[in-house]
Structure 1
Amino acid sequence: MKGGRVVKRSRQVNCDKRSYSNEIQSHKHDFGQFLFPLQGSLEINTNQQEVKLTTEHCFYLPPTLTHGFHSKERNEFLILDLPDLFLLRDTESMYIKMDEQWSSIRFLLLEEVRHNKNESAALRDLARYVTHKLKTSTPPSIDYIHNHYKESISLDTLAEIEKYHPTYYSTWFKQKTGKSPKRYITDLRLAEAKQLLMSTTWNITSISEEIGFENSSSFTRWFVKWEGITPQNYRMINNG
């Protein structure tokens, strides 16, 4: 997405409630911005993502990212603008599930908006905490992989979790992890298989079922492909 006006802000943290119209607009900021939905939804588009933001998620927009946005329904959002001095370098957009911690952050920000019209020390502390959360949060698709790597996972499923276009997702993932999604999932399954081979007396059939294979033959072929040795020999060598 190209073009769009540049929205500039002071070096202060800003937090307030905003609503958006059905008119499609496009701009970019010289600051980072968190959007916390309170009511309704907002459609956001960048070159890599198409997001319909509802109350189940929040969304982070980094500085200089051009984005289009509009809403087709009545809406209200809590917006937190973060100046550069609060941000890490090379931050990227992030689509985040509103879990208990993020819901608590939204509540505290709302309390600050309700009681303080100007920037307060508490708001600056909250801004720093939000920045820390952004730094330490695991991207949701990677979190999904760690919870479902024993199952069949498609690239389209992972891209949809991040709201990235599938053609962009693989590039983003490799930049993030140093591996392709397929290799990342394979390494998790291999690590689990090796751990079970070395630390349990389970037979090969049980191990293959545990990490998501239909039968021991397909598991053995897969293991040999990636390790160059059968599971039985791997167990024998590593167990002495």
Structure 2
Amino acid sequence: MESITCEKRSYSREFHSHQHEFGQFLFPLQGSLDIQTKWQEIRLDTDYCFYLPPGFDHNYRSMDRNEFLILDIPSPYLPEETNSMYIGVDQQWASIRYLLLEEARSQGNGSSLADLTRYVTSKLQIARPPSIDYIHKHFKESIGLETLAQIEHYHPAYYSAWFKKKTGKSPKAYISELRLKEAKHLLMSTAWSMSMISGELGFENSSSSTRWFVRCEGIAPQKYRILKNG
């Protein structure tokens, strides 16, 4: 496939299985789509969109009345390596969906669709997966690996490897780094005691948070505060 395709499609109740040589974005407009890959089982609805990279085996079906906006993207428009991605439709992605719908309706200027596709693929490279977005919102709480895997619809056995490939860190190290950054911010910007900071970051007590801080920074939090505040 050399040209970009942007059109509406509907799917049947029978499972079909295939892969394609191009990348594909699926934007649900009505109904839902069941998608199965080696490591994922997803029911895609209108709150999310989904990206399938080239050469990615998947099964799919829809059990209800459905309509999807599909963007088929030739490989030259894509980064060298992409993974499947389950993306929440926020205001930006809703705007992208609207613009793609307009292109699908008009079937007009091919260059404008090409420009929009380039923008979509650039967003693909910087989009934050839902589980990582969840971590940034809840890192002060206890977060289990199973919870994160479920958000991405990955099997837990695969999620850790996927996460490390995505971020360069394990989920535990990633969460610890966010907590450490917040601990440093609170030490520098407030006069809070370690008990207050510990509670804010979700530790059981100040002793455990102090031991954790020393393990990460090589210095006690009270000394860190004195040194940084001069």
TM-score by length of 2: 0.94
Q: Distance in 1 between matches of 2:40 and 2:109?
A: 32
Q: For 1:153-173, what per-residue CA distance to the aligned partner results, in whole angstroms no more than 9, with x for missing partners?
A: 111111122221111010011
Instruction: Tell me, yes or no, if structure 1 residue 127 matches structure 2 residue 117.
Output: yes
Q: Distance in 2 between matches of 1:21 and 1:188?
A: 44
Residue of structure 2 aligned with 1:68, choices 59, 62, 81? 59
Does the 8 A contact of 1:14 with 1:119 survive in 2? no
Q: For 1:21-61, what per-residue CA distance to the aligned partner results, in whole angstroms no more than 9, with x for missing partners?
A: 11111100100000000111110011111110001100000
User: 3-state SS of the aligned residue for 1:78?
Assistant: strand
The amino acid that maps onto 1:141 is S
The amino acid that maps onto 1:110 is L
User: 3-state SS of the aligned residue for 2:8?
Assistant: strand
The amino acid that maps onto 2:181 is A
Instruction: Tell me, yes or no, if structure 1 residue 105 matches structure 2 residue 83.
Output: no
User: 3-state SS of the aligned residue for 1:47?
Assistant: coil
Where has structure 1 moved over 4 Å in runs of 4 or more? Answer: none
Instruction: Tell me, yes or no, if structure 1 residue 15 matches structure 2 residue 26.
Output: no
Aligned to 1:175: 165
Q: For 1:194-237, what per-residue CA distance to the aligned partner results, in whole angstroms no more than 9, with x for missing partners?
A: 22223332211121122222332332233234334432233234
Aligned to 1:232: 222
Q: Distance in 1 between matches of 2:114 and 2:216?
A: 50
Does the 8 A contact of 1:22 with 1:70 survive in 2? yes
Which runs of no fewer than 5 residues in structure 1 stay unpaired? 1-9
Q: Distance in 2 between matches of 1:229 and 1:86?
A: 48
Q: Distance in 1 between matches of 2:100 and 2:43?
A: 22
Instruction: Tell me, yes or no, if structure 1 residue 218 matches structure 2 residue 208.
Output: yes
Q: Identity, % of aligned pairs?
A: 63
Aligned to 1:7: none
Does the 8 A contact of 1:140 with 1:162 survive in 2? yes
TM-score by length of 1: 0.90
Aligned to 2:134: 144
Does the 8 A contact of 1:43 with 1:52 survive in 2? yes
Residue of structure 2 aligned with 1:166, choices 156, 159, 162? 156
The amino acid that maps onto 1:97 is G
Residue of structure 2 aligned with 1:24, choices 2, 6, 15? 15
Does the 8 A contact of 1:13 with 1:119 survive in 2? no
Residue of structure 2 aligned with 1:186, choices 165, 172, 176? 176
User: 3-state SS of the aligned residue for 2:191?
Assistant: coil
Residue 18 of structure 1, CA deviation = 0.8
Q: Distance in 2 between matches of 1:53 and 1:99?
A: 15
Residue 178 of structure 1, CA deviation = 1.4
Q: Which moved more, 1:215-224 or 1:144-153?
A: 215-224
Q: Distance in 2 between matches of 1:190 and 1:174?
A: 19
User: 3-state SS of the aligned residue for 2:51?
Assistant: strand
Q: For 1:123-150, what per-residue CA distance to the aligned partner results, in whole angstroms no more than 9, with x for missing partners?
A: 1121111111111212221122112111
Residue 119 of structure 1, CA deviation = 6.7
